[in-house]
């Protein structure tokens, strides 16, 4: 697909978000649910399969335009954008990369059409970023596998039909597609969250769930090296753009408010200190978007540096999303603490980005390790 066609999809997504998502974002949060009707509309437009190949009813967007689409949806509502992150990026792209032909035929097309929603079941009650030490177990009995364990904080887990589930067993970390209708699967919604309230976040219990061998994604024992790393890489790319989405939305809210609100007989934006806040915010958003675009171009080119550049982008945009959202609240003053203004929600949603898909501290370690290798200059030989 040429760039003009891809840009048209992004432009249409902006109009869709303005009409179908942004006006109702606060309502979604109050109801603690992204409505099924909206999910169906997104599926009809192909957004749930934005990166899937056309042969599986996907739009076939390249990484750059998928990022731009993610930004448009994420600006309107972070919870709705979360569906793209887990269904399309984490589960969908991992399945598209490592699933066999039969698995793709069975699941990718229904996922594209919204008939099957997918999520990524990695995190557990006692295991977060430490993916190599998951406790959810599998054992082989005949030609089936028995799954036992629990997953927690699973975005869209409460309504997903398919769980790309990371387990451990005799041969090591293995990923299975577990289907909701399988006996022994139970989901419980998690309430009382700081943010992501509409994201159908759940705890999942697997009690002696029988899964056929054909539901293994990749090879038994290869789940961490291939499936987990692939899924998290795609997830981090999506979250990098999610950071830009929140930062951009907060910036626009900040500037609009500052041009309309007066203090001391002057519009807020005419005060020098407010101008300083706005100037810094604009710079951060532009810098973050440049990092995302670079990561997207490298991913499009299948460049070996794409993974580390994606990590850098995710780390940076999650930080600046928080910083810009905090400043947007500050510019709004008391109104910034009131849920009738969007910056209150943006502030809470921004914090989540510093935690999901690898905490900022983990990203710092990864980036530091890369820097220590890439930028070491050994002393010149005498």
Buried b / exposed e along 219-247 (16+ C-beta atoms within 10 A): ebebbbebbbebbbbbbbbbbbbbbbbbb
Structure tokens at 147: 């799954």
Alpha helices (runs of H) in 261-359, residue ranges in sequence order: 272-300, 306-332, 342-353
Structure tokens at 372: 């220590």
To the nearest 10°, the Cα dihedral for 114, 118, 119, 120?
A: -140
Go through the chain and tell me how many residues it has.
382
Question: DSSP states of 3-70 as a string?
Answer: HHHHHHHHHHHHHHIIIIIGGGHHHHHHHTS--HHHHHHHHHTTGGGTTS-GGGT-----HHHHHHHH
Is-catalytic flag, 357?
Answer: yes
Residue 288 Cα distances to 15, 52, 83, 278, angstroms: 23, 26, 22, 15
Calpha distance 7→292 (Å, rounded) = 17
- Among candidate residues 124, 203, 349, 357, the one labeled active-site is 357
Residue 169 has a CB neighbour count (10 Å cut-off) of 18
* Collapsed DSSP state (helix, strand, coil) of residue 211: strand
Answer whether 331's CB lies under 8 Å from 257's CB: yes
Structure tokens at 163: 């769980």
Residue 145 has a CB neighbour count (10 Å cut-off) of 23
- List the Cα angle 270/332/349 in 5-degree steps: 130
Question: DSSP states of 134-188 as a string?
Answer: ---EEEEETTEEEEEEEEEEETTTTT-SEEEEEEEETTEEEEEEEETTSTTEEEE
The closest of 199, 288, 299 to 241, measured between CA atoms, is 288
Residue 368 Cα distances to 230, 236, 322, angstroms: 21, 17, 22
Positions annotated as catalytic residues are: 357
């Amino acid at each position: 697909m040429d760039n003009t066609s891809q840009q048209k999809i992004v432009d249409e997504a902006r109009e869709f978000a303005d009409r179908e998502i942004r006006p109702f974002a606060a309502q979604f949060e109050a109801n603690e649910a992204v409505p099924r009707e909206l999910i169906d509309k997104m599926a009809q437009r192909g957004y749930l399969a934005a990166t899937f190949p056309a042969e599986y009813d996907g739009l076939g967007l390249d990484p750059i335009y998928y990022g731009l689409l993610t930004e448009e949806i994420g600006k309107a509502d972070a919870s709705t954008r979360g569906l793209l992150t887990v269904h399309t990026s984490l589960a969908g792209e991992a399945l598209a990369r490592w699933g066999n032909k039969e698995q793709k035929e069975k699941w990718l097309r229904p996922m594209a059409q919204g008939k099957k929603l997918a999520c990524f079941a990695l995190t557990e009650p006692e295991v977060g970023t430490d993916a190599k030490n998951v406790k959810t177990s599998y054992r082989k009995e005949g030609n089936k596998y028995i799954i036992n364990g629990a997953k927690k904080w699973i975005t869209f887990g409460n309504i997903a039909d398919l769980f790309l589930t990371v387990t451990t067993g005799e041969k090591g970390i293995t990923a299975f597609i577990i289907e909701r209708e399988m006996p022994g699967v139970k989901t419980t919604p998690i309430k009382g969250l700081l943010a992501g309230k509409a994201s159908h976040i759940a705890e999942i219990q697997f009690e002696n769930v029988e899964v056929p061998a054909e539901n293994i994604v990749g090879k038994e024992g290869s789940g961490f090296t291939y499936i987990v790393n692939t899924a998290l890489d795609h997830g981090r790319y999506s979250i990098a753009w999610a950071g830009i989405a929140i930062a951009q939305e907060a910036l626009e809210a900040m500037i609009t408010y500052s041009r309309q609100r007066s203090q001391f007989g002057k519009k807020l934006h005419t005060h020098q200190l407010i101008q300083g806040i706005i100037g810094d915010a604009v710079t951060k958003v532009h810098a973050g978007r440049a990092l995302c675009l670079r990561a997207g171009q490298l991913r499009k080119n299948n460049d070996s540096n794409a993974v580390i550049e994606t990590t850098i982008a995710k780390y940076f945009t999650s930080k600046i999303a928080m910083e810009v959202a905090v400043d947007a609240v500050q510019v709004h003053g008391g109104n910034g603490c009131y849920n009738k203004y969007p910056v209150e929600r943006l502030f809470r949603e921004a914090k989540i980005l510093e935690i999901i898909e690898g905490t900022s501290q983990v990203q710092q370690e990864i980036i530091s390790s890369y820097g220590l290798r890439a930028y070491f200059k050994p002393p010149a030989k005498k």
